[in-house]
Amino acid sequence: METSGVHPDESVRVEGLPSSANSPPSGPTTSDSVPPETLTWTYRHALPVRVGHWINAISLIILIMSGLQIFNAHPALYWGNRSDHNEALLSIRPVRIEGGNIKGITTILGHPFDTTGILGYSDQTVRAFPAWATIPGPRWLAMGRQWHLFFAWIFVLTGLLFVSYSVASRHLSRDLLPSRWDMRGIGRAIQDHFFFRHAAGEAARRYNVLQKLAYIAVLFGLAPLIVLTGLSMSPTIDAAFPSLLHLFGGRQGARTIHFIACFTFVGFIVIHVFQVIITGCFNNLRSMITGWFAIKEARQ
């Protein structure tokens, strides 16, 4: 979860910065035909946001990988309250073929796919997700659960702190919630993303509307969904809050939604990292570590 702490009064305009900055040195000697550039430094991410971002990034990756370890103990998904073997929506199974070789077969809604090497059978081992994708690497359900349940607490507590901070500091209303003006520019923003046109100058100070919508959807949609479906798999929580199971289509339904939400997070992470890389990887990383974000602007 990133942020743009858009505080115009906090930005510092530095001219003729040393060449360690991302722009060529500019000075009075530059010829008139090339517009000279200045680097504007803006304090983009407040400390709580930066700390929260990295704790969250680590927790999420560990949660995903330990979650796949847990999934491997019963690599099939269902709807409802029972896991009837012949009613699986998805299953990842090893199948012995003629000649004694083993194939990994992933079946989605009745359609089988050969996924040998990745799903079902990898590194001469019968396992749904491969060792490189799980924590711990070898099959070890008990330890996978302990990693998962520890980082689930970290994920939830960091999330609650982040939301409280964002409301109290008005980070939420100022930087994350899209304005009506933002929403009017949504068509333009989609076009810009499609053609990889990136915000420059003043516009790079704040999040674009698609970015805002993505963060809001994760913060108030995907994250609560994955936590609640996770809790719905707890038989004690089910006794205390039976309505959770009605909401999520039974215990196996909750497990299926939890899995889909997990891969939605994987999709979010892939797109997020891709955007970080193509919009100035080092500048973005620097701003999420030190807070400072450099903006190149043509001098008037």
Partner 1 sequence: MKPRAISRRQMLKGAAGAAGLAVLSGCDNLSRSDWLRNLFGHTEMLTERVQRLVTPSHALAQEYPESEISAVFPANGNSDPGTADYARMAEQHFADWRLTIDGLVGKPTAFSLDALRAMPSRTQITRHDCVEGWSAIGKWTGVPVGDLMHRVEPLPEASYAVFYCADLDDQGTAYYESMGRADLYHPQTILAYELNGTSLDVAHGAPLRLRFERQLGYKHAKYVMRIELVRSLAGIGGGKGGYWEDQGYEWYAGI
Determine which residue in the list 90, 95, 103, 136 makes contact with partner 1, applying CB under 8 A: 136
Determine which residue in the list 46, 49, 55, 62 makes contact with partner 1, applying CB under 8 A: 62
**279: contact with partner 1 by CB under 8 A:** no
**129: contact with partner 1 by CB under 8 A:** no
Q: Could you give the CA distance from residue 291 to residue 45 in angstroms, rounded to a whole number?
A: 5
Running DSSP on this structure, what letter comes out for residue 115? Answer: -
Q: Could you give the CA distance from residue 242 to residue 139 in angstroms, rounded to a whole number?
A: 32
Determine which residue in the list 245, 257, 294, 295 makes contact with partner 1, applying CB under 8 A: 245
Determine which residue in the list 92, 135, 176, 257 makes contact with partner 1, applying CB under 8 A: 135
Neighbour tally for 37: CB within 10 Å: 17
Determine the interface stretch with partner 1 among 19-27, 170-178, 231-239, 262-270 (rule: CB under 8 A). Answer: 231-239
Determine the interface stretch with partner 1 among 28-36, 74-82, 168-176, 292-300 (rule: CB under 8 A). Answer: 74-82
Nearest to 289 by CA among 1, 9, 110, 54: 54
Residues β-bridged to residue 295: 40
**238: contact with partner 1 by CB under 8 A:** yes
**170: contact with partner 1 by CB under 8 A:** no
Q: Could you give the CA distance from residue 266 to residue 273 in angstroms, rounded to a whole number?
A: 11
Q: Could you give the CA distance from residue 55 to residue 235 in angstroms, rounded to a whole number?
A: 29
Running DSSP on this structure, what letter comes out for residue 222? Answer: I
Query: For partner 1, how many residues bind (rule: CB under 8 A)?
Result: 41
Residue bearing tokens 């079902």: 120
Residues that bind partner 1 (CB under 8 A): 62, 65, 70-71, 73-74, 76, 81-85, 132, 135-138, 140-143, 145-147, 149-150, 153, 231, 233-240, 242, 245, 251-252, 255
